[in-house]
Amino acid sequence: IAAWHQLRSPAMLRVCVVLLVLALVVAEEAQLRIGVKHRPAECPRKSSKGDTLEMHYTGSLLDGTVFDSSKERDPLKFTLGAGHVIQGWDRGLVNMCVGEKRKLTIPSHLAYGERGSPPKIPGGATLKFEVELINIS
């Protein structure tokens, strides 16, 4: 019974509140975030798993350091949902229209995880991508 009273003390309640807030922050950081920056007026076809997509992209770390970009070369071509790209892309590029631009914030576990992709992407890194869908086939 004495332990129960200690758990109900104001100090323990404050500790519990702090831990709950921290858990919510960690859960929020672990989520894939998809922001639509531009959506064309007409969209006769949306991307789906199994489609071959051609994308332009710029990838950066949270501090803004760019680690890769296709802007000065040909678009990246890959099959959506086939594991050819990081999981954050396979999930974050579904239902896109040609000409659509998105901003993806991808937590580490949906990118390169704790191992990273040295030398440019450290382990545990959350990544940001500005992407544009060029073609669906």
- Give 76-114 pLDDT, tens digit per residue: 999 999 999 999 999 999 999 999 999 999 999 999 999
Q: Which residue in the block uniquely carries the two structure tokens 């390169």?
A: 112
Dihedral sign for Cα atoms in the order 51, 132, 35, 89: positive
Structure tokens at 124: 């545990």
Consecutive 10-residue runs of the chain (137 residues): their mean pLDDT? 61 67 53 97 97 98 98 97 97 98 98 97 98 98
**In the chain, what is the greatest distance between 2 CA atoms, to the nearest angstrom?**
69
Q: How far apart are CA 51 and CA 60, in angstroms?
A: 25
Tell me how far apart the alpha carbons of residues 106 and 92 are, in angstroms, rounded to a whole number.
9
pTM score: 0.79
Active site positions, annotated = 57, 67-68, 86, 112, 129
